[in-house]
Amino acid sequence: MGRLDGKVVLVTGAGQGIGQGVALAAAAEGASIIAAGRTLEKVEKTVEEVRSRGAQGLAVKCDVRRRDEVDVTVAAALTEFGRLDGLVNNAQMVSLGPVLEITEKDALRTWESGFLGSLWFMQAAYPALKESRGSVVNLGTGSALRNDLPGFTLYAGTKEMIRTLTRMAALEWGEDGIRVNACIPNGLSPGLQMWSEFSPQEYDDFVSTIPLGRVGRLEEDVGRAVAFLLSEDAAYVTGSTLMADGGQAYLR
């Protein structure tokens, strides 16, 4: 028996990295998975892995910046499975650089893919989540809590606004039985893996700031933490941020 048996969970940005780790962890706990992402081939591979674990899965091509595609994705989930119990907003385009070099294009793509994408999915999924008394988990970032990461203005700022959205929705939707939480992860994403190969000393310095001494595993460390928030084990947890980062960052 898994803690998500019988549940249906939609994960955005599920084609790789943390989103894929979350999808696989939720599937391992018995959930049926809707894997949404901009590249269909990637989310199809995630669904293949989901099915290999005995869970059901559906791959949907979706650009979270497009409200029409968001609505189609939620509708596809309901058509396929008849319900929706969990939503994980993980998709996010990343633009890095100094404040004075931020362009309008960078600002728009970061904001639209992060905050607006999360908002659109929460709005679209709300009726189904209200019916199932379901749960939302939004992904944040430790870069918003640390003072040694210059260049993260757009990314960190957008993620913090998503955490504000998380808290406000938790307050508004509590009476509907919908829980809304955030998770700040530290996982070995493709980008972090690439950084470790091209700048090994900088990467080692980064790892040295993690009290547990290692970067998190995508499924086992980050995915399971999110699965906990989606489950009935967290039935009395809402409006909170769970740090799944090995102790590297902390809320002030």
- What residue spans define the domains of the chain? 8-243
DSSP-assigned beta bridge partners for residue 34: 10, 58
Instruction: For residue 192, name the pLDDT band (cuts at 50, 70, 90).
Output: confident
Q: Which amino acid does the sequence have at 39?
A: T
Tell me if 60 sits within 8 A of 109, measured CB to CB. Answer: no
Q: Say whether pLDDT at 250 is over 90.
A: no
d(CA 210, CA 101): 30
Residue type for position 200? P
Instruction: Give 12-50 pLDDT, tens digit per residue.
Output: 999 999 999 999 999 999 999 999 999 999 999 999 999
Burial of 179 (0-12, 13-18, 19+ CB in 10 A): buried
Report pLDDT for 252: 60
Share of the chain above pLDDT 90, in %: 85
Given 155, 203, 236, 250, the catalytic residue: 155
Interhelix angle 153-173/117-132, rounded to 10 degrees, is 20
Residue 12 is which amino acid? T
**Whether residue 236 lies in the annotated active site:** no
Q: Which CATH architecture has domain 8-243?
A: 3-Layer(aba) Sandwich (3.40)
Give per-residue pLDDT as tens, 216-245: 999 999 999 999 999 999 999 999 999 999
Q: How far apart are CA 77 and CA 158, in angstroms?
A: 27
Residues 96-151 have pLDDT tens digits of 888 999 999 999 999 999 999 999 999 999 999 999 999 999 999 998 888 766 78
| Helix residue ranges, H only, the chain | 17-28, 40-52, 67-81, 104-111, 117-132, 153-173, 190-198, 200-207, 224-230
Computed over every residue of the chain, the mean pLDDT equals: 95
Q: Cβ(187)–Cβ(222) under 8 Å?
A: yes
To which H or E segment does residue 178 belong? none
